[in-house]
Amino acid sequence: MNANTNYNLTDHKILHNNYLDGLATELKVEIILHLSNPTPLARCSRAWYATVNSPATKARWLTWRYGETHALFHAVRMGEPFINVGVVECLFAQKAHLSRYFIQRVMLGFGKYDCRLIDLKLTHNVRPLDLDRKKIIQSKIRSPWASNLSFDVFSRILKEGHDRFDGNNMPVRGNDMESFYYLSAGPLVISEARKKLQDNINEIERLITTFRFAPFPSRRRHIPESTESRSVNYDDYPPADGYENVRQLNVIARAILIQPNLVNVWKKIGYNEIVHDVNDLVMQGSLLILYPPTPTACWVKPGLDQVVKQLKDLQNIGFKLTDGLIGDALVLFEHRLKDIGEVLIDAFVIVRDLNSNTILSTCLRELLHPDKSLKRHDVLDYILDRIDDPQFEIISALENYGIVDNNLLDMAKLTLHTRLQYTPIVYRYMLVKFGKQSLVTKHLMREIIMVKIATSQSTNSPQHAAESNTIFNEYYKAKVPFEPQCLQLIKTCSSDFIVKCVFEGYLAKLFNFKVNFHPPRTARAPDLKEVTPFMQANSKKRTNKHVKKEKSDLQQEWQNVLYECYHGKGEFTDVFRTQIHKFIKRLDSLKEGNNFGSHSKQPKLLKFVHEELLTTSILN
């Protein structure tokens, strides 16, 4: 049976591969075009390998994925063995964009550094280098963009540029980005730049139409922390990774704001990605023109109609007011929201053609995006005070970003939670705003516990570990409750400190025992006195009876979880087992000393331990 099954599976696989190999070449190419990484497909068979690595297929894939304007840039970025003369020829045949600026940047980057010479200089340097200088040198040793091109690819690109742009008169050591900066009056304030740019408009258009000037693409907005590119200094020009810096793209965005028709000039040469490449910078720039950081004496605060007109004019030529841009705008003007916040939000409502509640929800969701890295709480406070049910919206955002993982039983996910997703100010603000018993705070406490346990088992990211330690201690001292379902995580914890916080601290207090455990002191948290605590509408005042009932229910819930945990399947860490054993022995000694009076008045956990756990103890 097993043999037949294996034969059938193998036979099916062969038929499947034969079927895929038999596909028409054009259909194979169409499949490849829709893959972000076709390399695994090349391993299927020789036929697929040949199709994937065909220069024509590579060129089409680049154009499909990155557009005609940036296809050649990404081909150079990928380097060998991806790029070769055949790929370059196919890109030129498929009308991939080539500019004089591209040639200039290739000239800047081509060629490898002499690593041995750099080592000798570092070794024989009389003056010790500071750390920043060493990092700059080390980043240059890594292969910068275009440095590892083969000579035949380099010469083919240079020849094409020579044929297209003025032959031997082409200024290969020039910089068209820098020329554009001065022609568009970059050094001048924007009020003075308008006339200067208009005077130079013909030369600017010639730079674009004749020499095909277009900026390089911007790098991904948020780069994973684990990547080596973190060490690259993005203020260097040209940057080692080849992507255009924000500073240079701001030059383009500023020129468009002064002369919007430049968008059409770029589109005429096939640079249709111009709107996408500088969308956020243009839209943010328009708001900064309306609300300058340092207003002049003659500045008049614009009204709603003026803001809407400015945004809609840009919208009419292709720019978009995206969700992310709305969040960025609020952070950009967080110090001035009391003055201009209402106008901004009303303008967003009109431009996006949405109701106020939807825009406010969008604002909150974007502000709670983990990549925002908020440094202040003001903008959160401003938006939350205008939302009817802020806790519901916050929890929805947390779930949307995967901050709250309801499946705490999946231990494999623990390794993914080695750092808090937000900056410390967010956790502190939520605690002050909603209180220790709120749903929001409890949800965040769950994340804090997961991170605390994960970092206690890892030796990486000491800075993140210190951050999570501080926030954990602050939440613990504020008496934010541990949820019973967290016990599934805590029993895997190897940190004696965390387990003590639960059993010798939180649970001891919950069941009215004397608490002898106190965490170490931490730095004093910033004072958030100006935050007004949230008051639930139509909330009833809790009576002593209600408080006692809630506490009794929580005690019972913990009892049930403890019983299931100790009598169910699963493993404990030695630390967890030791701490629980100490805790139960402590309870036993208290009973022997009759410190609680009659048995009927003992705390429920003590009764539970003796009546349930100790009868079938697995601790021995």
- Report which residue type is found at 398: L
244 forms beta bridges with: 218
Q: Is residue 413 part of a domain?
A: no
pLDDT for res 118: 72
Rounded CA separation 450/329 (Å): 32
Share of the chain above pLDDT 90, in %: 53
Token representation of residue 597:
């009076």
Is residue 14 predicted with pLDDT exceeding 90? no
Q: Is 165 among the domain residues?
A: no
- What gap in Å lies between CA 587 and CA 583, rounded to an integer? 6
**What's the pLDDT score for residue 214?**
98
Separation of alpha carbons 56 and 423, rounded Å: 47
Q: What is the pLDDT of residue 600?
A: 41
Kindly tell me the burial class for residue 169, based on how many C-beta atoms sit within 10 Å of its own C-beta (0-12, 13-18, 19 or more). Answer: exposed
In a domain, 18, yes or no: no
What pLDDT shows up at residue 216? 97
Rg over alpha carbons for the chain, rounded to the nearest Å, is 32
Q: What pLDDT shows up at residue 604?
A: 52
Is residue 328's pLDDT more than 90? yes
Q: What is residue 608's predicted lDDT score, i.e. its pLDDT?
A: 54
In a domain, 532, yes or no: yes
Higher pLDDT, 110 or 114: 110
- Please identify which residue in the block is written with the tokens 């919208």: 315
Structure-block tokens of residue 552: 């009794």
- The span from the CA of 333 to the CA of 347, in Å, is 14
Q: Given pLDDT bands bounded at 50, 70 and 90, which one contains residue 230?
A: very low
Tens-digit pLDDT profile for residues 153-209: 999 999 999 999 987 688 999 999 999 999 999 999 988 999 999 999 999 999 999
Tokens of 228: 């080596």
Alpha carbons 4 and 10: distance in angstroms, whole number: 10
Q: Is residue 548 part of a domain?
A: yes
Residues 364, 387: contact at Cβ < 8 Å?
yes
**Which of 71-75, 87-91, 518-522, 615-619 bottoms out in mean pLDDT, i.e. has the lowest?**
615-619
Identity of the amino acid at 513: F
Residue 5: predicted pLDDT: 36
Domain interval for residue 533: 433-616
Q: Return phi, psi of residue 244, to 5°.
A: -75, 135
Q: How confident is the model at residue 331 (pLDDT cuts 50, 70, 90)?
A: very high
- The answer to whether 144 and 240 have CB atoms below 8 angstroms apart is yes
- Give me the torsion for CA of 351, 352, 357, 360, rounded to 10°: -80
Question: Helix 439-456 crosses helix 390-400 at what angle (to 10 degrees)?
Answer: 30
- Is 513 within a domain? yes
Burial 244-281 (b: 16+ CB within 10 A, else e): bbeebbbbbbbbbbbbeebbebbeebebebbbebbbbb
Q: What's the angle, vertex CA 331, arms to CA 327 and CA 333, rounded to 5? A: 120
What does pTM read for this prediction? 0.81
Q: Of 411, 425, 431, 338, nearest to 376 (Cα)?
A: 425
Q: List, for residues 547-570, the tens digit of each pLDDT value.
A: 888 888 888 888 777 777 766 666
H-helix or E-strand spanning residue 599: none
What pLDDT, in 10s, does the model give residues 444-468? Answer: 999 999 888 888 776 665 667 788 8
Residues 469-490 have pLDDT tens digits of 889 999 999 999 998 888 888 8
Q: What contacts 24+ positions apart, CB below 8 Å, involve 455-462?
A: 455/418, 455/419, 456/493, 456/494, 456/495, 456/497, 456/498, 457/414, 457/494, 457/495, 458/418, 460/418, 461/418, 461/419
Taking Cα atoms as reference points, which of 508, 608, 613 lies closest to residue 565? 613
For all residues of the chain together, what is the average pLDDT? 83
Average pLDDT of span 270-289:
96
pLDDT band at 580 (very low <50, low <70, confident <90, very high): confident
Most confidently modeled of 420-424, 508-512, 559-563?
420-424
List Cβ<8 Å contacts ≥24 apart for 312-318. Answer: 312/351, 313/260, 314/260, 314/282, 314/283, 314/286, 315/351, 317/260, 317/263, 317/264, 317/275, 318/263, 318/275
DSSP 342-354: HHHHHHHHHHHT-
**Lowest mean per-residue pLDDT among 61-70, 244-253, 348-357, 513-522:** 513-522
Which class for 440: exposed (0-12), middle (13-18), buried (19 or more C-beta within 10 A)? buried
Q: Which residues pair with 152 in a beta bridge?
A: none
Q: Give 150's pLDDT tier (boundaries 50, 70, 90).
A: very high
Residue 526 lies in a domain: yes
What is the predicted pLDDT for the residue at 452? 87
- In the chain, % helix, strand, coil (3-state, to 5) comes to 65, 0, 35
Low-confidence winner among 408-422, 539-553, 586-600 (lowest mean pLDDT): 586-600
46-52: list long-range contacts, CB under 8 Å, 24+ apart. Answer: 47/21, 48/20, 48/21, 51/25
Asked if 104 contacts 175 with a C-beta cutoff of 8 angstroms, the reply is: yes
467 in any annotated domain: yes
| Counted domains in the chain | 1
* Nearest one of 289, 295, 284, 212 to 249, comparing CA atoms: 284
Phi-psi region of 32 (alpha: psi -120 to 50; beta: other; left: phi over 0): alpha
Burial class from Cβ neighbours inside 10 Å (0-12, 13-18, 19+) for residue 107 reads: middle
Q: Which residue has the tokens 């990155």?
A: 66
Res 521 pLDDT > 90: no
Give yes or no for a contact between 356 and 314, defined as CB atoms under 8 angstroms apart. Answer: no
Residue found by looking up tokens 């913990």 in the block: 558
